[in-house]
Amino acid sequence: MTTSEDQHLPQHVAIIMDGNNRFAKKHQMQKGAGHHKGKTVLDPIVEHCKKIGIRALTVFAFSSENWNRPQFEVDLLMALLEETIHEQLPRMEKFNIALRFIGDRSRLSPKLRDLMAYAEQKTASFTSMTLTIAISYGGMWDITHAAQQIAQAAVNQEIKIDQIDANLFGRYISLGDLPPVDLLIRTGGDYRLSNFLLWQTAYAELYFTQTLWPEFTVEELDHALAIFAGRERRFGKTSEQIQQEKN
């Protein structure tokens, strides 16, 4: 991406990293090997996003529904998440990137919860970009959790019912302090959101690819960004209104 394209960059990119198991089957690898391979793909993507000036990158590592997978796979994914956090901490410091996590932490082990909290505290002051990893996350859980917090605030008379609108709700939703998702990428060939960032992607541009996550490259990311740059984002307005605002 060149500097002349900077104005067309999304501020916030989200990625559903899908296709690890199918990659392993495709290459006749043992169970779990696809997840190991997929873990290595994230680093160059993060570095490229930081390099070209994207402010936030959010990746879907483990969904609320993934708890239903075979116990072997759940245990492997939890171990890989812990390994990833340990590996990412020095990288976050090197690249001045804040590391955050979203999701229902109640089902995670105390050890993993403590590690996540430590990583967030350790990188909280870093400002070049925010990398968020969604763990035990679901969009419907996120919206429900926000509604519970707002209801409690209303019961405590901290807010009034007539103050509740989309702007207020957005402050209680995960990542409410970051820009909304501009571009959502899903690898692996499926064409659905799978309960990911339902509120935050309300106006996101969608990019679906048959590429399996372990085969996703910086070059394909640039292709997705180029497609994003060519789309007209109207947010309910007409094309004529958008053109008038540009002139």
pLDDT single digits (tens) 22-68:
999 999 988 888 898 989 999 999 999 999 999 999 999 999 999 99
Mean pLDDT calculated for residue range 86-96:
95
Mean pLDDT calculated for residue range 192-210:
97
Residues of the chain above pLDDT 90, percent: 86
Q: Let me know if 190 is a catalytic residue.
A: no
Question: Within a 10 A sphere around the Cβ of 68, how many other Cβ atoms?
Answer: 8
pLDDT in tens, 129-186: 999 999 999 999 999 999 999 999 999 999 999 999 999 999 999 999 999 999 999 9
Of the residues 18, 21, 142, 182, only one is catalytic, namely 18
State the alpha helices, DSSP H only, in the chain. 20-26, 33-52, 71-95, 110-123, 139-155, 166-172, 218-230, 239-246
56 membership: H or E segment, kind and range: strand 56-63
Its pTM surpasses 0.85: yes
What pLDDT is recorded for position 238? 62
- What is the Cα–Cα distance from 92 to 161, expressed in whole angstroms? 41
Residue 246 pLDDT > 80, yes or no? no
Residue 236 pLDDT > 70, yes or no? no
Residue 97 pLDDT > 50, yes or no? yes
**H, E, C per residue of 154-187:** HHCCCCCHHHCCHHHHHHHCCCCCCCCCCEEEEC
Q: Let me know if 18 is a catalytic residue.
A: yes
* Short-list 174, 168, 233, CA closest to 199: 174
Task: State how far Cα 150 lies from the chain centre.
Answer: 24
Of the residues 6, 20, 66, 96, only one is catalytic, namely 66
Q: Say how many CA atoms lie within 13 Å of 68 toward its Cβ.
A: 3
What pLDDT is recorded for position 3? 37
Task: State how far Cα 159 lies from the chain centre.
Answer: 30
Question: Within a 10 A sphere around the Cβ of 120, how many other Cβ atoms?
Answer: 15
Residue 191 pLDDT > 90, yes or no? yes
Q: C-alpha angle with apex 40: 36 to 43, nearest 5 degrees? A: 150
